[in-house]
């Protein structure tokens, strides 16, 4: 009898028992997350690998030049390019060209975002219209935007209108398609839960649809930027005119006309740096943050 | 319409119900085979009912109808309700369906906001209290992906409570969890149910779970879904899944369930 008594008094209350099991399970099932210090995450993981790669590429480039597989005017070395760019920076109006091109790119991209978003929102929920428009958008996306340049010039002459036409036709499809993909990828259960919680109309759009669409939309924007930048370069390269003012593409065309291989290489690198830079400074952090907060990528 | 209303009122005077289904039929598409056929079911306020059945018995469909996510093909569904939100039933799924762009606390807050709680401070305090009820007071700022499956379902439970509905509909909420976690959540749910006086309709294909939880277990037949049998369970709560009485009942119900399922293999 005594042993039974001891056992009973030692047995915890049912509720106390399940709460302590629960606490134990919670502790076991949530892994301790220790975040590395920022300099290790950013410098070592994000900055160092590309820097090392670039240095390696420059070395290979220099080795090829050193081996003299091609004459120097066909394949200039990194040092030649650097010298040419610094010496002729003002002659090619590079500062002004970068400023003009970047502002054109950003302005064209901004218009594309507005138009592409409105277009995407208005066709997303109407299956019949969407089925008609989406294949055309996909086709436009695969059409090299440089193909629009001659048509643009015939329509508008060598003017800003031509350049923006080419940029918009390049970027709008990406933005719209990104948005449509985002809408398609909303798990149906979110809409149902939203409805059950009482979200209707505007509140459903604000609290459920918009945040659910966001990752697809942001990747559409990112691609839209890439498309507007490369369309802009294509347009600038062909549409050269004094009253358009300088641009990076025009600088490239000028280098070509002058048979200035080192400068052409230099401008190419500038175009790359701007494209990569805007993505790295603007889109990549937004996208990374978005995905990390939803547990879609590891932090 | 008037006739239905009068009949409803008359019935209510006899026997108060939190959920009442009369002759509910559901088929998808025109002239399709009915998924649910002639369901009559009355659930009393504060009752815990388990709906049990094999695949294809339309148990999830039935919950969707009660929740108002789908319309019934015929018949009436009433949620008379006495609380602040008559006609409304909160719904929980097998997956937590928490919004991954919000923290645990914000998920609960959103339910409060959509219920009409205007004041932010009040929402925050209430969400904190509800998370405390499911013992996740410390998880307010946790992201959904940082929580285990069991913790997510508890946050989803807190979110359902935030809806202040009289009726809680649960669609196999613990089916994806491991057995240890499920046991604990059974205790948790029964405790919340007895404290809040909620009416619970709990759908499962797990007989033992139905016997462990329900005051009434309803067995649905498959294709079309009809009410085949029901058991009143007088074993007092809190029960344990390994109780002899629960095991006995599980055996009885399983035998009936197997009979129901075998009928389909014979034709």
B97 contacts A193? CB cut-off 8 A? yes
**B178-226 pLDDT, tens digit each:** 888 898 899 989 999 999 889 999 999 999 999 999 999 999 888 788 8
User: How far apart are the C-alpha atoms of B111 and A34, rounded to whole Å?
Assistant: 31
Overall residue count recorded for chain A in this entry: 299
- For chain A, say whether B243 makes contact (Cβ under 8 Å): no
What is the value of pTM for the model shown? 0.80
**What pLDDT score was predicted for residue A264?**
93
Mean pLDDT of chain B: 86
Do B226 and B37 contact (CB within 8 A), yes or no? yes
Residues 77-136 of B with CB under 8 A from A: 88, 90-91, 93, 95, 97, 99-102, 110-111, 113-115, 135-136
**Mean pLDDT to the nearest integer, B104-119:** 93
User: How far apart are the C-alpha atoms of B68 and B77, rounded to whole Å?
Assistant: 9
Interfacial residues of A (vs B; Cβ cutoff 8 Å) = 14-15, 18-19, 21-23, 25-26, 29-30, 33, 189-190, 192-193, 195-199, 203, 207-208, 211-212, 214, 293-295
**What pLDDT score was predicted for residue B152?**
93
Cβ-count burial A248-276 (b if 16+ within 10 Å, e if not): bbbbbbbbeeeebbbbbbbbeebbeebbe
Interface A-B, measured as beta-carbon pairs within 8 A, has a size of 90
Residue with tokens 């509140």: A203
Task: Choose the mutation target among A19, A22, A190, A217 for the interface with B, i.e. most B CBs under 10 Å.
Answer: A22
Search chain A and give the residue with CA nearest B87. Answer: A196
B91 contacts A33? CB cut-off 8 A? no
Reply yes or no: is the peptide bond before residue B238 cis, omega within 30 of 0.
yes
**What pLDDT score was predicted for residue B106?**
95
Residues whose CB is less than 8 angstroms from the CB of residue A249 and which lie 6 or more positions away in sequence, other chains included: A101, A232, A233, A234, A235, A236, A237, A271
Phi-psi region of A216 (alpha: psi -120 to 50; beta: other; left: phi over 0): alpha
Do B22 and B75 contact (CB within 8 A), yes or no? yes
Q: Which of A246, A247, A263 is nearest to A255 (CA)?
A: A263
User: How far apart are the C-alpha atoms of B172 and B170, rounded to whole Å?
Assistant: 6
* Choice among A154-163, B25-34, B57-66, B135-144 with the minimum mean pLDDT: B25-34
Residues 28-67 of B with CB under 8 A from A: 67
Residues of chain B in contact with residue A26, where contact means CB-CB under 8 angstroms, are: 135-136, 148, 150-151
Kindly state the DSSP code that residue B142 receives in the 8-state scheme: -
Task: Choose the mutation target among A191, A193, A290 for the interface with B, i.e. most B CBs under 10 Å.
Answer: A193
The answer, yes or no, to whether residue B7 has pLDDT greater than 50, is no
DSSP calls for A197-239:
HT--HHHHIIIIIHHHHHHHHHHHHHHHHHHHHHHHHHHHHH-
B91 contacts A193? CB cut-off 8 A? yes
Which strand (E) or helix (H) includes residue B262?
Answer: helix B244-265
* Distance between A128 CA and the closest CA of chain B, angstroms: 21
User: How far apart are the C-alpha atoms of B76 and B42, rounded to whole Å?
Assistant: 12
Q: Show the tokens assigned to A228.
A: 């507007």
A295 contacts B146? CB cut-off 8 A? yes
Radius of gyration, CA atoms only, chain A? 28
Which strand (E) or helix (H) includes residue A101?
Answer: helix A94-124
**What pLDDT score was predicted for residue B241?**
85
Question: What value of ipTM does the predicted structure carry?
Answer: 0.85
DSSP calls for B185-199:
HHHHHHHHHHHH--E
User: How far apart are the C-alpha atoms of B36 and A54, rounded to whole Å?
Assistant: 66
CA dihedral B105, B110, B116, B119 (to 10 degrees): 50
B100 contacts A21? CB cut-off 8 A? no
Angle of CA points B250, B256, B262, to nearest 5° = 130
**Mean pLDDT to the nearest integer, B19-29:** 86
Among the partner residues B95, B111, B145, nearest to A294 by beta-carbon distance: B145
B144 contacts A196? CB cut-off 8 A? no
Q: Given strand B199-204, what is the order of strands in its sheet?
A: B89-92, B167-171, B199-204, B48-52, B216-220, B227-232
Q: Which of A211, A184, A170, A167 is nearest to A123 (CA)?
A: A184
Among the partner residues A33, A198, A211, nearest to B99 by beta-carbon distance: A211
A192 contacts B110? CB cut-off 8 A? no
Q: Which of B206, B256, B201 is nearest to B231 (CA)?
A: B256
Residues of chain B in contact with residue A214, where contact means CB-CB under 8 angstroms, are: 101
* Low-confidence residues of chain A: pLDDT under 70: 1-16, 31-35, 298-299
User: How far apart are the C-alpha atoms of A205 and A194, rounded to whole Å?
Assistant: 10
Tell me how far the alpha carbon of residue B150 is from its chain's centroid: 17
A294 contacts B100? CB cut-off 8 A? yes
**B168-189 pLDDT, tens digit each:** 999 999 988 888 889 889 998 9
**Mean pLDDT to the nearest integer, B111-125:** 93
A196 contacts B114? CB cut-off 8 A? no
Search chain B and give the residue with CA nearest A214. Answer: B101
Among the partner residues A25, A203, A214, nearest to B184 by beta-carbon distance: A25
Neighbours of A170 (CB within 10 A): 29
**What pLDDT score was predicted for residue B6?**
42
Question: What does DSSP say about strands B199-204 and B216-220: parallel, antiparallel, or unpaired?
Answer: unpaired
**What pLDDT score was predicted for residue B126?**
93
Residues of chain B in contact with residue A190, where contact means CB-CB under 8 angstroms, are: 97, 99
Which strand (E) or helix (H) includes residue B90?
Answer: strand B89-92
- For chain A, say whether B190 makes contact (Cβ under 8 Å): no
Q: Show the tokens assigned to A161.
A: 């209108």
pLDDT over 90 percentage in chain B: 40
């Amino acid at each position: 009898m005594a042993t039974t008594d001891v056992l009973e008094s030692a047995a915890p209350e049912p509720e106390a028992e399940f709460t302590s099991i629960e606490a134990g399970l919670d502790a076991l099932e949530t892994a301790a997350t220790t975040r590395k210090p920022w300099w290790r995450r950013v410098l070592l993981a994000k900055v160092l690998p590309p820097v090392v790669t670039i240095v390696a590429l420059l070395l290979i480039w220099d080795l090829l030049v050193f081996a003299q597989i091609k004459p120097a005017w066909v394949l200039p070395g990194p040092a030649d390019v650097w010298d040419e760019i610094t010496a002729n920076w003002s002659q090619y109006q590079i500062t002004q060209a970068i400023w003009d091109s970047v502002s054109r790119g950003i302005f064209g991209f901004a218009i594309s975002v507005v138009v592409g978003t409105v277009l995407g929102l208005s066709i997303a929920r109407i299956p019949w219209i969407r089925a008609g428009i989406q294949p055309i958008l996909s086709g436009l996306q695969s059409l090299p935007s440089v193909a629009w340049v001659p048509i643009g010039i015939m329509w508008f002459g060598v003017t800003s209108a031509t350049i923006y036409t080419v940029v918009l036709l390049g970027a709008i499809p990406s933005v719209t398609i990104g948005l449509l993909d985002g809408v398609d990828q909303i798990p149906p259960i979110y809409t149902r839960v939203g409805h059950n919680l009482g979200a209707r109309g505007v509140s459903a759009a604000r609290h459920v649809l918009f945040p659910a669409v966001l990752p697809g939309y942001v990747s559409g924007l990112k691609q839209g930027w890439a498309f507007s930048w490369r369309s802009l370069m294509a347009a600038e390269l062909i549409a050269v005119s004094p009253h358009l003012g300088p641009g990076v593409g025009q600088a490239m065309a000028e280098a070509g006309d002058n048979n200035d291989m080192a400068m052409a290489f230099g401008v190419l690198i500038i175009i790359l740096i701007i494209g990569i830079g805007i993505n790295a400074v603007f889109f990549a952090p937004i996208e990374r943050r978005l995905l990390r907060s939803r547990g879609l990528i590891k932090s | 319409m008037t006739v239905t209303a009068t009949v409803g009122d008359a019935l209510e005077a006899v026997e108060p119900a939190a959920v009442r289904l009369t002759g509910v039929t559901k088929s998808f598409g025109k002239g399709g085979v009915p998924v649910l056929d002639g369901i009559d079911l009355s659930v009393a306020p504060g009752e815990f009912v388990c709906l049990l059945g094999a695949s294809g018995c339309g148990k999830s469909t039935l919950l969707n109808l009660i929740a108002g996510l789908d319309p019934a093909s015929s018949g009436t569904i009433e949620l008379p309700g006495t609380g602040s939100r008559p006609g409304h039933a909160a719904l929980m799924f097998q997956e937590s369906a928490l919004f991954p762009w919000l923290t645990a606390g914000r998920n609960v807050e959103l339910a409060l906001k959509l219920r009409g709680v205007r004041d932010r401070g009040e929402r925050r305090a209430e969400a904190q209290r509800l998370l405390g009820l499911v013992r996740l007071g410390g998880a307010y700022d946790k992201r959904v992906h940082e929580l285990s499956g069991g913790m997510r379902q508890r946050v989803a439970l807190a979110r359902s409570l935030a809806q202040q509905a009289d009726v809680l509909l649960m669609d196999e909420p613990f089916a994806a969890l491991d057995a240890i976690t499920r046991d604990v959540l059974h205790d948790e749910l029964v405790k919340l149910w007895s404290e809040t006086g909620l009416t619970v309709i709990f759908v499962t294909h797990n007989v033992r779970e139905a016997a462990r939880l329900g005051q009434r277990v309803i067995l649905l037949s498959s294709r079309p879904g009809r009410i085949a049998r029901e058991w009143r369970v007088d074993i007092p709560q809190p029960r344990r899944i390994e109780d002899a009485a629960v095991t006995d009942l599980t055996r009885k119900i399983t035998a009936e369930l197997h009979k129901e399922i075998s009928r389909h293999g014979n034709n």
